Amino acid sequence: MSHVLVTGGAGFVGSFVVDALVARGDDVRVVDCLHPAAHRQRPDYLNPGAEYLWGDLRDPEVACRATAGVAAVCHQASMVGLGVDFADVTGYVAHNDGATAELLHALHDRDFTGRFVLASSMVVYGDGRYRCARHGAVAPDARRLDDLERGFWDPRCPECGAALAPETVTEDAPTSPRNVYAATKLHQEHLTAAYAREHASPFVALRYHNVYGPRMPRDTPYAGVASIFRSALQRGDAPAVFEDGRQRRDFVHVSDVAAANLLALSADADVCGPFNVATGAPCTLYEMACDLAGAFGSAAPAPAVVGGYRLGDVRHVFGGTERARRLLGYTAAVERRDGLADFARQALRP
């Protein structure tokens, strides 16, 4: 039994990690600020087997109390999503970078050398990995505004301008954050890696792909697309699919993400670095929308490809899971259609 701190343990992914840790007999402390972008009220699913510390990690006193006596840290607390507009920059930097800095500072004061597992994201890869028929593997620039305006959705080859074919992203791919949230996720990785080097503590960054499942926040500017589509279907509206619906993602069930966290927390000391957390079975956004609509029954409206775009969005990202399988023993257990059918039946989070 080890003493694990789960930051953001009242949230969507964090609460599943807490449940799994309590179930395996670990001693769990949660620190959570119940950020209003994620919580309208204190959730009703909190695990009574964990200790809860309500406070903001940016407060050094909260960080100090949270870290007392812990043997491992699972850092899930984060502002997620694309947000409303650039004015969100201060919130993302404060809650993602600032809180991580205070947490690491408190761990430093306590000479912490235990395992540190960070919730990172596939968004650190930017536009993913692509191949040009003429120039081979290339790293495209961010998509051009004039291309998006006229509905040319795929990134172009930086050499010849041709449309590129997407490939599976492995953890050795260059990072290239394309929005504020992505920049803070990469910075969290860098800050924690610096701590790990200086304190010889094992550090794992789990790069989540598109997580969905029960307790997912309802549709807000900070929610993922699965939640937005589910809310539309519950209202009887068609899911509005941006671009041409052919953008590819890997939708991974929250229970698989929690399982990856437990494996990362108990891995051998030399198992470190970034890991994709995905299913290895990507799909287009339109396919996901059809699966979800199908789960609502034959009367549900079919998804509508409405065009349009969000500037910070990346086109295709789907990650290879070989490294996680080999070093963590992770494989996703929930198949997308089963997971989405279950998701469609869940009550919305208040």
Structure tokens at 96: 């993602």
We find the least distance from the C-beta atom of residue 49 to ligand UD1, in angstroms, to be 27
CB atoms under 10 Å from CB of 86, counted, come to 10
Candidate residues 143, 230, 249, 349; the one interacting with ligand UD1 per rule CB under 6 A: 249
We find the least distance from the C-beta atom of residue 312 to ligand UD1, in angstroms, to be 8
Binding of residue 224 to ligand UD1 (CB under 6 A): yes
Size of the site for ligand UD1 (CB under 6 A): 23
Binding of residue 251 to ligand UD1 (CB under 6 A): no
Binding of residue 189 to ligand UD1 (CB under 6 A): no
We find the least distance from the C-beta atom of residue 344 to ligand UD1, in angstroms, to be 16
Binders of ligand UD1 in range 4-63 (CB under 6 A): none
We find the least distance from the C-beta atom of residue 256 to ligand UD1, in angstroms, to be 12
Closer to ligand UD1 by Cβ: residue 173 or 241: 241
We find the least distance from the C-beta atom of residue 252 to ligand UD1, in angstroms, to be 8
Structure tokens at 69: 């006596």
Nearest to 43 by CA among 16, 24, 66, 25: 16
Residue 28 CA from chain centroid, whole number: 22
Contacts of 221 (CB under 8 A, 6+ apart): 81, 82, 83, 84
Binders of ligand UD1 in range 152-171 (CB under 6 A): none
The contact mask relative to ligand UD1 for 255-294 (x = CB under 6 A, - = no) is ------------------------------x---------
Binding of residue 121 to ligand UD1 (CB under 6 A): yes
Binding of residue 313 to ligand UD1 (CB under 6 A): yes
Cα gap 333→4, rounded to integer Å = 24
We find the least distance from the C-beta atom of residue 61 to ligand UD1, in angstroms, to be 29
Q: How far is CA 91 from CA 82, 88, 146, 307, 327, in A?
A: 12, 5, 30, 29, 35
Closer to ligand UD1 by Cβ: residue 94 or 240: 240
Closer to ligand UD1 by Cβ: residue 47 or 188: 188
Give the binding site for ligand UD1 (CB under 6 A): 80-82, 121-123, 208-211, 223-225, 228, 240-242, 247, 249, 285, 310, 313-314
